[in-house]
Structure 1
Amino acid sequence: MDIKTTIPPPFTPSYVPYMYKGENVKGAFGAGTRPDFVRASDRAYFDAGVTRDDLRQLFIAMDLFDTGAGMKLVGDFNYGNIKARPGQSGRAAFDKVEKSNDGYANYASHADFARAKLRLIQKPLWRVNLATDSPSDIIDKIVGNPANAWGTLLSDAARRALETGKGIEQLSPTVGRYEGERDRVMRYRAQGIFDISRARQKMYAEKLTPIARQVGQYMAGGDPNVVYTPAFERTATPVEPPVVPPIRPMDPSAPTVPEQPTLVQAPKPLTKEAFDVLAFTRNMKVRLLNGHEYPIEAVDFELREVKYYNDNDAPIWVSVKRIAAVV
């Protein structure tokens, strides 16, 4: 794994007024400010201690996915929708997938949020190692963990359909370019994915890859061609075709077999039925089975024979059994 460390320049963004359920939310970004959000996040994560370019790119992509590049906040400066701890300041919001109404934490600044997110990602349950794990490893650990996944992503109905194959037709269909749960579950099952942990890993990697490529265009040291792949696809062993040994080992001293000529199917003789329906004319030729052609001089319809003169100018009558075609 090629680890790069680039120091992002300081960046001070401009925030816009934003309200959620009648309350002012601090730290919101306006429309068309995605590059500013990326640059501000890049510096915030660096100041929080993330020196690896690939990890900053992943974390920024996650935040962009969670809050639309800081445009849809619930908690102050909470770009990752981190839920508030007991006693921590926050705002409640209903999650239609989780069907919860938990509070989302308020933070004092972008850097304050970045430090909180790093603490969350490094919780012992997920066993994330920011020094050695690749971005795909981190996705596997925090999203695929069956005990406490990062975001539900799939509804309970989709999960049951994925695992049992029942109720797929009742899931939401694809609308426009947004893949519905019905088509996603069918696609995952066709790929051999039948458990929610792998489905979360696959889905989150698919969603984050194009977002991270956008992030890579604006951040310091970003990779605009990054691809996130779940572990079960990265470590899959390709199936090699079986090697069939020869029936008998070849003797090195055995004489080599000379190259054989290519066999060509010989032409078949003209059938009696085909001969009987021919309308002979003076300009027709007979083509023999040996490939030679001669002008037809006479025809005996009863015996099904034609007359021609050979190269020695001798008259020859040939039966239909020796005729390949009449042309």
Structure 2
Amino acid sequence: MSEQLRSLQSQERSVTAAVTGDEDLGPFALLPGVWANEPDLPGRGWNMIALPFGPPEGATFRPAYRLLLHQYNERLIFSLVDKAVPNRGIGPVADGVTPNADQLLVALDYEQGINQLVGEDFPSSGLAGQPGGAIHHEPGLFLNMSDPLNEDSVDMARLATIPHGDSVLGLGTAVVEDGPATVPPVNALPLGVDQDIEANPYLAPYKHFHDNPFRSLFDPTDPTALLEVANEGVDIIRTTKLEFDSTVSTGGISNIPFIVRQANASEMKSTFWIQEVRREDGGTDLRLQYVQVVQLDFFPRFDGGPGRIKWPHVSINTMTKVDETPVPGPGGYPVMAA
């Protein structure tokens, strides 16, 4: 029996304010509190998304889409913890006895709120939004899961609910390592088409922002580069890496019918890096980086493969922890917190 399971078996189920350093949270122990871009790292959030689009007159590539990019600020709040959540089960029969084998979980609530600073798309649609506008709100849970029967290859989960009409279950594991983590490159070009942006005119929106980076910084052909830039000159002592994947085990995404027909969210992979950073005075600060890739499926593939073209919707950010003790409740947007 693991130490985690033994500890939870000695507790009654409880829902309380989450506290940094709580060992029952396992790899999430440093998350409770408020993470934000402001005031220290404004505008470090970036995302890109391809969308079906009725093009303006004169647009030549078909079927038509637009590539929308945002620079944004975010608040990510981890506020409540639900401990010793029981999933009832039984173990294998031994000596004629069927033992109980209950799984006990620790669920950490989160709420994500994102407001854009600038939006731009190509071809231009007039739909890129206004500065300060809300572009994302997401309540969810991070689950630290015990494994009483040693049957699972995953021990944590992310449950996300998206107001567009999506519900996501991503599963994974955590790794703690000294120093900074390596940020892997992400292929953000659509899958199912020739990915040569110089030779394939269908990728004109990607070539446009490759030749003219968004805000002179963000290149959609190398979307994680700015995470590496954000780590330059930072003394990262230790990194906790959390990886969630909706294609692992029983993970998946459920969507409302309109989304399935128009731009089906089929896969989600996200990696969070919790960084313990040494300050010049010898103290320690906390930073949080992430990259998330959601595949949106729409339009027939050009390569004859099964299904539809997969268009990566990529989001990245670097934030600092700005408050250890958030007040549970709506906190993503200023209008909600008023």
TM-score by length of 1: 0.23
Q: Larger % of helix: which?
A: 1
TM-score by length of 2: 0.23
